[in-house]
């Protein structure tokens, strides 16, 4: 029987592979291109995916919500300022999250925790999928951005 932990870890790993493949397929000169000079760049979105996966891993491993601030988030994004750093960060964050998922006690999956950006408490089972949701969302945005500069291929 497939456990929720195994499913969550595998789903997260698969979307990270898709993100990496898609980011690598982006021409270097377009990685920091911004739609209408106001949208988020592919590099910025990849960096967020690293931060959110590590945030989820920390929640699962400590069973508490770390302090979250816009300043710390902005600093984290600024540190991930190259494709290489984002790709390495995605690998590390994916491994951190998988470890936290597999170590989380199954009998506590329905327990809840309050996060700063959700009005209602989230289950720990749901926390296992926050990075998956965020990564999938940004993978779609990155694919859309690529179509805007003429890349119509699936990566």
| 155 residues of the chain, pLDDT tens digit each | 779 999 999 999 999 999 999 999 999 999 999 888 888 999 999 999 999 999 999 999 999 998 888 999 999 999 999 999 999 999 999 999 999 999 999 999 999 999 988 899 999 999 999 999 999 999 999 999 999 888 888 78
Judge whether 29 lies within some domain. Answer: no
- CATH number of the structural domain spanning residue 74: 1.20.120.450
Judge whether 85 lies within some domain. Answer: yes
Number of domains the chain is built from: 1
Distance CA 18, CA 96 (A): 18
Judge whether 104 lies within some domain. Answer: yes
Judge whether 16 lies within some domain. Answer: yes
What is the span of the domain harbouring residue 142?
4-22+41-148
How crowded is residue 56: how many other Cβ atoms within 10 Å of its Cβ?
A: 27
How confident is the model at residue 90, as a pLDDT? 98
Judge whether 36 lies within some domain. Answer: no
Judge whether 35 lies within some domain. Answer: no
How confident is the model at residue 150, as a pLDDT? 84
Distance CA 93, CA 98 (A): 8
105 class by beta-carbon count within 10 Å (0-12 exposed, 13-18 middle, 19+ buried): exposed
How crowded is residue 88: how many other Cβ atoms within 10 Å of its Cβ?
A: 13
Judge whether 34 lies within some domain. Answer: no
How confident is the model at residue 115, as a pLDDT? 92
Judge whether 155 lies within some domain. Answer: no
Distance CA 112, CA 51 (A): 21
How confident is the model at residue 56, as a pLDDT? 97
Distance CA 106, CA 61 (A): 13
Longest dimension (CA), the chain: 49
């Amino acid at each position: 029987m497939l456990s929720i932990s195994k499913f969550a870890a595998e789903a997260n790993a698969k979307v990270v592979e898709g993100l990496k493949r898609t980011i690598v397929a982006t021409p270097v000169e377009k990685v920091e291109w911004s739609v209408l000079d106001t949208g988020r760049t592919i590099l910025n979105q990849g960096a967020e995916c690293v931060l959110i996966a590590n945030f989820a891993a920390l929640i699962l491993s400590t069973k508490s919500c770390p302090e979250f601030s816009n300043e710390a988030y902005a600093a984290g994004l600024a540190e991930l300022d190259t494709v290489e750093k984002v790709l390495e960060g995605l690998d590390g964050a994916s491994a951190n999250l998988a470890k936290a998922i597999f170590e989380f006690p199954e009998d506590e999956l329905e327990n809840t925790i309050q996060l700063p950006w959700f009005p209602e408490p989230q289950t720990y089972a749901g926390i296992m999928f926050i990075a998956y949701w965020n990564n999938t969302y940004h993978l779609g945005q990155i694919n859309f951005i690529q179509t805007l500069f003429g890349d119509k291929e699936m990566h």
